[in-house]
């Protein structure tokens, strides 16, 4: 059958051009006579792959020289523990809860110290982001943690906390590379690659170098940022295939898209098509406060749960898959990451309009 | 160029048939319209993949019903911490050190409790395995830890410790699936998949169910066996591509090889070709005491370091790559995992004989 429009929240679509490159190189990478999946991680061929992947990510995200990039395993969930284990030097940290993953991050951090939930948007079912300028930050917090884009609830930060002397740590799993980011505003940024970059199986952390080296001696080696970063992400065998795929996507962003400023233009236009449609009618409803609407995850409901179910089933038949909303929210969610073609959103909107007409 | 014979210690060769299947399905898996790399881990298509991967591994390794199988990230190195964090209920454990990885496992475990090194074969540069029948095991040890096959030194256990009431925990990263294993002798078996099964990025643990559920409350979620296993290895997004590739290799072992008894026959014959050659001449030398020779990793030296270097360079030119020994040992090492064709070893032996003639 033909490839579908996959609106999954992650893992999610990859650029078809990248998949075709991976396919063509699958048995023999360059002149190595091997698949990347078979390559010793200590070989010159793989060394070139990992170095170029990191270098291209540095260029794409415009990462300042005083930040290190590390490749890890265990997804963002493992980062939820690594952040406090490595950065909670004062024994306390501030967390802003704006959805499921920021809540899980705070819960995990409580295992390792005092967690102050300085704001929580659960009062309105996570349909907004708290005003970061009016919060009572803890003066001696080791860091402030946010989840920059909330995959499940379809919200995103506009401004981020800026507190002198307290580093900001952000989970960017569902918005990384969707537009340019000013890395210098953050002490650390981390993300699972499986939403907007590569197949599942890797998390990346970008860390200001003065924050490294403070983990306690009994922290597990694989959870010690400095232990992994000081070995150029090869303390042990890294997830080589994910690194290779990440490199291909970075190359695609640089060469085919022309960088993140262009990617943002495409994404703003693409999300705009869906949000404009949602605002133009009353059959479907997006519950998010407008300033905080995510570029990447668009939630919406039909008039009732039965119609939601009918919509998802008919959409899947028509080649628009994984539109069912997360069980915590219900309704629908269209995750429209970088690799979702604009055409996919245009066709989805046509399908939605047609469905509304027939069922309204 | 043609595919090479890759003697890498890991990541390492994969069956060409499996690579071709992965290549053919790369853009569209079955009728899903998606790559496995793009698939939601909560989708029916991926659910079928992970369930069948686990089921086929259970059949291939003949895993008893009272053992759980979990898929993890972070490689065996992360398991080095997870084993004590989950199993060290008495605060102490016995470790047998027979090489680099068992030593690293013991070092990591020391972060979490009392580690008794009850035997160490470093006295003869790890060229043998201590007699497990004559060791002074700690009566109240939580477990006994071994590394079943030593990748770097080319040794393997013949007998394993059997102590009433003390579970045996084994790292089988470099010998898993090389021959049948009696899982019931072990409390837990773990392995990184990147040597004998799949691309790097996943570790598997097979755990007797009475050993689960004892981790302290402050253990990081991703290091808690029970937390992951109770969610069928989908607490968070798993390394889907590695799971898929593992499933393809399990299918290959079942359908193309006919199970691990057949695999063992092939491996014994294959390793025999190399060991018989080594024993038949005096130019190359294998330092390992004969009973403990590994089926998977064969170490050898030429008369001097200059000739070792020359050998590796000329071998690579001839299409036999990654034969350089680990820096801790020097010399050469041929890792001849399941996917190395017998023909690859036959041709290597011809090349070695020719090299010995020219340089002897």
Which of B:267-286 have CB within 8 Å of A?
none
pLDDT per position as a tens digit, B305-333: 999 999 999 999 999 999 999 988 899 99
A110 touches chain B (CB under 8 A): no
* pLDDT, one tens digit for every residue, chain A (360 residues): 588 999 999 999 999 999 999 999 999 999 999 999 999 999 999 999 999 999 999 999 999 999 999 999 999 999 999 999 999 999 999 999 999 999 999 999 999 999 999 999 999 999 999 999 999 999 999 999 999 999 999 999 999 999 999 999 999 999 999 999 999 999 999 999 999 999 999 999 999 999 999 999 999 999 999 999 999 999 999 999 999 999 999 999 999 999 999 999 999 999 999 999 999 999 999 999 999 999 999 999 999 999 999 999 999 999 999 999 998 889 999 999 999 999 999 999 999 999 999 998
Inter-CA distances, B18 with A95, B62, B188, B253, Å: 46, 22, 28, 10
The Cα–Cα gap between B150 and B171 comes to 9
pLDDT per position as a tens digit, B332-356: 999 999 999 999 999 999 999 999 9
Asked whether the beta carbons of B264 and B128 are under 8 A apart, the reply is: no
Close Cβ partners of A143 (under 8 Å, ≥ 6 residues apart): A83, A87, A88, A93, A94, A166, A167, A168, A169, A187, A188
Read off φ and ψ for residue A282, nearest 5 degrees: -125, 5
A22 touches chain B (CB under 8 A): yes
SS3 B114: strand
Pseudo-torsion of CA A203, A34, B179, B200, nearest 10°? 0
Judging contacts by C-beta atoms under 8 Å, the chain A residues touching residue B81 are 220-223
Asked whether the beta carbons of A6 and A12 are under 8 A apart, the reply is: yes
Q: Do B75 and A222 make contact, defined as CB atoms within 8 angstroms?
A: yes
Judging contacts by C-beta atoms under 8 Å, the chain B residues touching residue A223 are 81, 220, 223
Q: Do A40 and B322 make contact, defined as CB atoms within 8 angstroms?
A: yes
The Cα–Cα gap between B134 and B106 comes to 20
Q: Do B8 and A38 make contact, defined as CB atoms within 8 angstroms?
A: yes
At residue A60, the pLDDT reads 98
A4 touches chain B (CB under 8 A): yes
The Cα–Cα gap between B109 and B137 comes to 17
At residue B85, the pLDDT reads 98
B326 touches chain A (CB under 8 A): no
B79 touches chain A (CB under 8 A): no
Judging contacts by C-beta atoms under 8 Å, the chain B residues touching residue A201 are 73, 201-202, 238-242
A38 touches chain B (CB under 8 A): yes
Close Cβ partners of A14 (under 8 Å, ≥ 6 residues apart): A198, A199, A245, A249, A339, B35, B37, B38
DSSP assignment of B126-164, as one string? T-S---GGG----TT-S-EEEESEETTTTEE-SS---BT
Q: Do B192 and A22 make contact, defined as CB atoms within 8 angstroms?
A: no
Q: Do B23 and A27 make contact, defined as CB atoms within 8 angstroms?
A: yes
Judging contacts by C-beta atoms under 8 Å, the chain A residues touching residue B20 are 27
Among B32, B78, B220, B318, most A C-beta atoms within 10 A, so best to mutate, is B220
A234 touches chain B (CB under 8 A): no
Among B236, B249, B326, B339, most A C-beta atoms within 10 A, so best to mutate, is B236
**DSSP bridge partners of B72:** B203
Asked whether the beta carbons of B242 and A201 are under 8 A apart, the reply is: yes
SS3 A114: strand
Q: What is the Cα B137 distance to its own chain's centre?
A: 25
A12 touches chain B (CB under 8 A): yes
pLDDT per position as a tens digit, B211-248: 999 999 999 999 999 999 999 999 999 999 999 999 99
pLDDT per position as a tens digit, A31-55: 999 999 999 999 999 999 999 999 9
Domains of chain B: 26-256 (3.40.640.10), 259-359 (3.90.1150.10)
Q: What's the DSSP call for residue A89?
A: T
Report CA torsion sign: A333, A336, A339, A345. positive
CB atoms within 10 A of CB B254: 14
Inter-CA distances, A274 with A14, A67, A269, A321, A345, Å: 20, 36, 9, 16, 7
Asked whether the beta carbons of A274 and A190 are under 8 A apart, the reply is: no
A111 vs B9, B108, B218: nearest CB: B218
DSSP assignment of B311-325, as one string? HHHHHHHTTEE--BP
Q: What's the DSSP call for residue A158?
A: S
Residue with tokens 């989840």: A147
Q: Do A81 and B6 make contact, defined as CB atoms within 8 angstroms?
A: no
Is-above-0.95 flag for pTM?
yes
pLDDT per position as a tens digit, A301-327: 999 999 999 999 999 999 999 999 998
The Cα–Cα gap between B129 and B158 comes to 8
Asked whether the beta carbons of B103 and B231 are under 8 A apart, the reply is: no
Q: What's the DSSP call for residue A163?
A: B
The Cα–Cα gap between A358 and A360 comes to 6
Residue with tokens 């002397």: A165
At residue B1, the pLDDT reads 54
For residue B172, give the nearest of B158, B154, B192 by alpha carbon. Answer: B192
A13 touches chain B (CB under 8 A): yes
Judging contacts by C-beta atoms under 8 Å, the chain A residues touching residue B319 are 33
A237 touches chain B (CB under 8 A): yes
ipTM: 0.98
B77 touches chain A (CB under 8 A): yes
* pLDDT, one tens digit for every residue, chain B (360 residues): 588 999 999 999 999 999 999 999 999 999 999 999 999 999 999 999 999 999 999 999 999 999 999 999 999 999 999 999 999 999 999 999 999 999 999 999 999 999 999 999 999 999 999 999 999 999 999 999 999 999 999 999 999 999 999 999 999 999 999 999 999 999 999 999 999 999 999 999 999 999 999 999 999 999 999 999 999 999 999 999 999 999 999 999 999 999 999 999 999 999 999 999 999 999 999 999 999 999 999 999 999 999 999 999 999 999 999 999 998 889 999 999 999 999 999 999 999 999 999 998
At residue A123, the pLDDT reads 97
At residue B328, the pLDDT reads 85
The Cα–Cα gap between A21 and B58 comes to 34
Peptide bond into B11 cis (omega under 30): yes
| Chain pair A-B, CB pairs under 8 angstroms | 224
Nearest CA in chain A to B223: A78
Nearest CA in chain B to A84: B220
Which token pair is A76?
A: 């963002």
């Amino acid at each position: 059958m033909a490839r579908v429009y996959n609106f999954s929240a992650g893992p999610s679509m990859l650029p078809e051009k990248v998949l075709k490159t991976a396919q063509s190189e699958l048995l023999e990478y360059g002149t190595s006579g091997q698949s990347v999946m078979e390559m010793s991680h200590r070989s010159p061929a793989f060394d070139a792959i990992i170095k170029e992947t990191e270098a291209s990510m540095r260029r794409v995200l415009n990462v300042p020289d005083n930040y290190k990039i590390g490749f890890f395993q265990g997804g963002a969930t493992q980062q939820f523990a690594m952040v406090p284990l490595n950065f909670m030097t004062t024994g306390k940290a501030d967390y802003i809860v704006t959805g499921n993953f920021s809540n899980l991050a705070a819960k995990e951090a409580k295992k390792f110290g005092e967690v102050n939930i300085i704001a929580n948007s659960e009062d309105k079912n996570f349909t907004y982001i708290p005003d970061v300028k009016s919060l009572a930050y803890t003066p001696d917090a080791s860091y402030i943690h946010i989840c920059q884009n909330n995959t499940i609830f379809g919200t995103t930060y506009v401004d981020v906390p800026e507190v002198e002397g307290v580093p900001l740590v952000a989970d960017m799993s569902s918005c990384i590379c969707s537009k340019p980011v000013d890395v210098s505003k953050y002490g650390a940024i981390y993300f699972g690659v499986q939403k907007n970059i590569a197949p599942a199986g890797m998390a990346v952390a970008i860390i200001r170098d003065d924050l490294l080296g403070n983990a306690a001696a009994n922290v597990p080696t694989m959870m010690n940022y400095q232990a992994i970063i000081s070995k150029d992400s090869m303390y042990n065998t890294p997830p080589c295939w994910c690194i290779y795929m990440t490199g291909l996507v970075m190359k695609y962003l640089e060469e085919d898209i022309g960088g993140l400023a262009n990617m943002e233009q495409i994404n703003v236009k693409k999300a705009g098509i869906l949000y404009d449609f949602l605002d133009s009618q009353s059959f479907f409803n997006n519950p998010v406060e407008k300033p905080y609407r995510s570029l990447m995850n668009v939630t919406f409901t039909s008039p009732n749960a039965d119609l939601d179910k009918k919509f998802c089933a008919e959409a899947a038949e028509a080649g628009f898959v994984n539109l069912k909303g997360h069980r915590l929210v219900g309704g629908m969610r269209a995750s429209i990451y970088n690799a979702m073609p604009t055409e996919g959103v245009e066709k989805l909107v046509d399908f939605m309009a047609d469905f509304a007409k027939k069922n309204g």
